[in-house]
Amino acid sequence: MISMKLLPVVFKQVWRHRTRSLLTVGGVTVAMFLFIAVQALQRGVHEATSVSAADQTLVVFRANRFCPATSRLPEHYADRIAKLPGVSAVVPMKIVVNNCRASLDVITFRGVPSGDLAGLSAKWRVVSGSLDGWGARSDSAVVGELLASRRGFKVGGSFDSSGVTVTVAAIIASPEPQDQNVAYVHLPFLQQAAKGAGLGTVTQFTVRVADPAQMDAVARAIDDEFRTEADPTSTKPEKAFVAQVGGDVIEIVRFTRYLGWGCLFAVLALVANAIVLSVQDRIKEHAVLQTLGFRGGLIARLIIAEGVIIGLIGGVLGTALAVAIVQLGKFSLSTEGFSVNVSADAGVVITGLVIAGGVGVAAGLVPAWQASRREIAHCFRAV
């Protein structure tokens, strides 16, 4: 764009009007902070609800029931589901939440049979503690890393929620969004400890399908199997199920993209305003530069470079602040026992910085074009 030798000139021009530049950078920082926060939330929705060709997990819920407290299925359904063609594994699961509505701080218990934890833990990484400790006592829990970090849970410590008291046996990290914000406990223990529960009754079944291409066929077969029973079922891929139960939350998150676009327009206006004022203050200086041999195109590039620098400084500060808060806060939107985790990865960061630089270029185009077309005599006559 411009020679490295000219960068000190650009930085000097930015620094000459310290107050204006600092206020502009501050405004860009705030706007980019909001934009990156929105992008992190959008990414969380994408991770939780995007169905891929490799997905093999179905969720079997009670038909016409949504909140876990109202979904009650006989545990013996698991034997019949396991016999259906295409099913490789079935895990009966009791779910208890301290808040069924949308919330940023929900504790979700998932009760599973002791023998089924090994199948669920294939993708887990134990952060602290041991999965062997989970089987040593009936009130032990395996806690997701996000939940443990947000609530400050430690291995060996106890906590209480929804009238259920458990001891943390292990803290795990998982690539699956729904494992990061829950506590896995023994199914019989949760059936007896939770209010309104009972032995032989579960909330849902998690079904693993042998062939991902047969997901829809297996789902229909399961629902057909129990269509005439007193407790009919509704079966969907896990991520599609999350998209359904969290529909209201997801729509709100999708609406926030307009906030993101608004932030970008705010950045464009702020940087453009700063550059226009800066160019107006230096009309005679540009005439001197032209007299010294600086062509209009080079002057235009210097002006655009100012916009890029201001945009990138504000973009870096806003992005760093947003990522730090997201990483430290471990935020998660939960509804009906399913979570949308707020996450900002390298892709979100790079996108934010590229957009900040791009907005800086766009903001400088018009004043740069105007400055490059001014004649020397007109510049000297300007007041």
pLDDT score at 116? 82
Q: Mean pLDDT, to the nearest integer, of 76-91?
A: 91
The percent of residues above 70 in pLDDT, for the chain, comes to 75
Q: Which is higher by pLDDT, 150 or 285?
A: 150
First vs last Cα of the chain: how many Å apart?
30
Output 70 or 229, whichever has higher pLDDT.
229
φ, ψ at 56 (rounded to 5°): -130, 10
Q: What is the pLDDT of residue 81?
A: 92
Checking if the pLDDT of 209 tops 60, the result is yes
CB 36 within 8 A of CB 323: yes
Strand partners, 119: none
| pLDDT score of 264 | 77
The more confident residue out of 219 and 362 is 219
Please classify residue 19 by burial: count the beta carbons closer than 10 Å to its beta carbon, then call 0-12 exposed, 13-18 middle and 19+ buried.
exposed
Look over the chain and give the mean of its residue pLDDT values, rounded to a whole number: 78
Structure-token pair, residue 174: 């998982």
Q: Which amino acid is at 223?
A: D
d(CA 311, CA 71): 51
Q: Give dist(CA 240, CA 195) in Å, integer.
A: 29
**Is the pLDDT at 222 greater than 90, yes or no?**
yes
- Identify the pLDDT of residue 64: 81
Each domain of the chain, given as residue ranges in start order, spans: 4-49+248-381, 65-231
CA distance linking residue 154 with residue 172, whole number of Å: 12
pLDDT-derived band at 221 (thresholds 50, 70, 90) equals very high
DSSP assignment, residue 161? E
pTM greater than 0.85? no
**Residues 220, 48: contact at Cβ < 8 Å?**
no
Per residue in 281-303, pLDDT (tens digit) is 665 565 555 565 566 667 677 77
Position with higher pLDDT, 6 vs 143: 143
Q: What is the mean pLDDT of residues 13-42?
A: 80
Q: Using the predicted structure, report yes or no on whether residue 255 has a pLDDT greater than 80.
A: no
Residues 6+ apart with CB under 8 A from 329: 150, 342
The pLDDT of residue 383 is above 50: no
